[in-house]
Amino acid sequence: MAVTIYTTPTCPYCRSAKRYLQERGVPFREVDVARDPRAAVELVRKTGQTGVPVIEVNGEWIIGFDVARLQRALGLR
């Protein structure tokens, strides 16, 4: 399973989403769009979103820390 979370250091929802994934043992790759302008541009191109967190799970884009969608995408209850 491929999980990528796009974040910024000041985003409280990003911290909550990362903690959620960590507590469930879900490995993920974090991309800090504040430090990586190219990643920020690519994120906007792919999703139209300028806010974070944005989480990609196996090609499915989840905008914000949407627990219900994240659980479904990860196959969790």
| pLDDT value of position 57 | 97
CA atoms within 13 A on the CB side of 50: 0
Residues 5-12 have a mean pLDDT of 97
Q: pTM of the prediction?
A: 0.94
- Give the Cα separation of 59 and 54 in Å (integer): 12
Query: In this model, does residue 23 exceed pLDDT 90?
Result: yes
Residue 35: domain span: 3-74
pLDDT band for position 24 (50/70/90)?
Answer: very high
Tell me the CA distances in angstroms from 67 to 33, 41, 54, one per residue in order: 22, 25, 12
Query: In this model, does residue 77 exceed pLDDT 80?
Result: no
CATH of the domain at 12: 3.40.30.10
For residue 13, give the nearest of 64, 72, 67 by alpha carbon. Answer: 64
The structural domain count of the chain equals: 1
Mean pLDDT of the chain: 96
Q: How many helices (H) and strands (E) does the chain have?
A: 3, 4
